[in-house]
Amino acid sequence: MGRLSRILHLEWDGDTRDAFSDSHARFQAGRMGMWLFLITLGILFASTIFAFVVVRLQPDPATGWRPTDEPGIPGILLISTAVLLASSWTLTRASAAIVGDQRRQGRQWIERSLILGSLFLVLQAVGWIDMWRAGVYIDSSLYGWTFYVLTGLHAVHVLGGLIPMGVVAARARRGTYSRLSHSGLTYCSMYWHFLAGVWIVLYLTLWLGSM
């Protein structure tokens, strides 16, 4: 019982406080948990990129890496990249507005991030359709397989990020967040900025690998 008490309580100046009832302690624990989660995702994406490099350097001797009749990565992916970076920037503006107690502006920036994030997925889908129409399928070549797997893996995580962002936007409309209480927005921003950074690496990997 004594050990459990030491784990579940903080002792400050002889005054024992419940760690889970302290908002700052909860925020720090949540942020640490988010960092661990992002490290895990980083390992996943790093593994897929490493696999891409291995496949790229050791192409199928029969078909090669990219058949001559298959195009490079769609140009629209460059536009989607700009859109995703813009959504990361608007989310940064949202955090700054909330910290500055500008709740209305913060809510508007969050909603813009949600719209831009959704637009990113739409543009990605258009890129996949362009590749499909050009005859690049997931089973047509190593190039096609790696393109769909890498972009699809990232898109799934973006879709997963839009859900909590929608929750954050709804809470912002209710005035939940303030200068002293905005942990949900912070966690969502950490995840979204991570996805933006990962996409830059993926895009460059795909672009260089398509040459």
- Is a pLDDT exceeding 80 seen at residue 41? yes
DSSP assignment string, 100-132: TT-HHHHHHHHHHHHHHHHHHHHHHHHHHHHHH
Mean pLDDT of 138-146: 82
> Lowest-pLDDT range, 44-48, 69-73, 129-133?
69-73
Q: Which segments within the chain are labelled E, that is strand?
A: 9-12, 15-18
Structure tokens at 95: 């955090």
Residue-range domain boundaries for the chain? 27-209
- Is a pLDDT exceeding 90 seen at residue 120? yes
| pLDDT score at 110 | 92
Mean pLDDT of 163-187: 84
What tens digit of pLDDT does each residue of 49-70 get? 888 888 777 765 555 566 666 7
Pick the CATH number of 27-209 from 1.20.120.80, 2.40.160.150, 3.40.50.720, 1.10.10.10: 1.20.120.80
pTM beyond 0.75: the answer is yes
- The crossing angle, in degrees rounded to 10, of helices 23-57 and 183-209 is 10
